[in-house]
């Protein structure tokens, strides 16, 4: 069965870590998270990292956010306005 929306920025079955925040949606590719990454998202300093136990976290505004891990097509179908990060912006 075809999905309602598709996006060719990534292969449909690329694993992404997705955050649905009050001020926007953002997804990071699994391969990006080999190192912590610091950047600005919706004018807020954002640090995304993967811990030794494999857990992914986002730190911003002194809060910790946890992602949903999905294939890109599954997330994008319901969140087509998601900002996608696939390469390092500023390694920390």
pTM (two decimals): 0.86
pLDDT digits (tens, 9 = 90+) for 16-73: 999 999 999 999 998 889 899 999 999 999 999 999 999 999 999 999 999 999 999 9
Q: First and final CA of the chain: distance in angstroms? A: 42
**Nearest-angstrom CA–CA distance, 7 and 17:** 16
């Amino acid at each position: 069965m075809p999905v309602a929306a598709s996006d060719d920025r990534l292969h449909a079955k690329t694993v992404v870590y997705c955050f649905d925040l009050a001020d926007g949606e953002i997804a990071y590719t699994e391969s990006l998270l080999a190192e912590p990454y610091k950047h600005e998202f919706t004018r807020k300093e954002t640090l995304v990292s993967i811990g030794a136990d494999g857990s992914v976290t986002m730190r911003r505004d002194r809060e910790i956010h946890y992602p949903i891990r999905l294939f890109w097509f599954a997330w994008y179908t319901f969140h087509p306005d998601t900002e996608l990060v696939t390469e390092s912006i500023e390694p920390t």
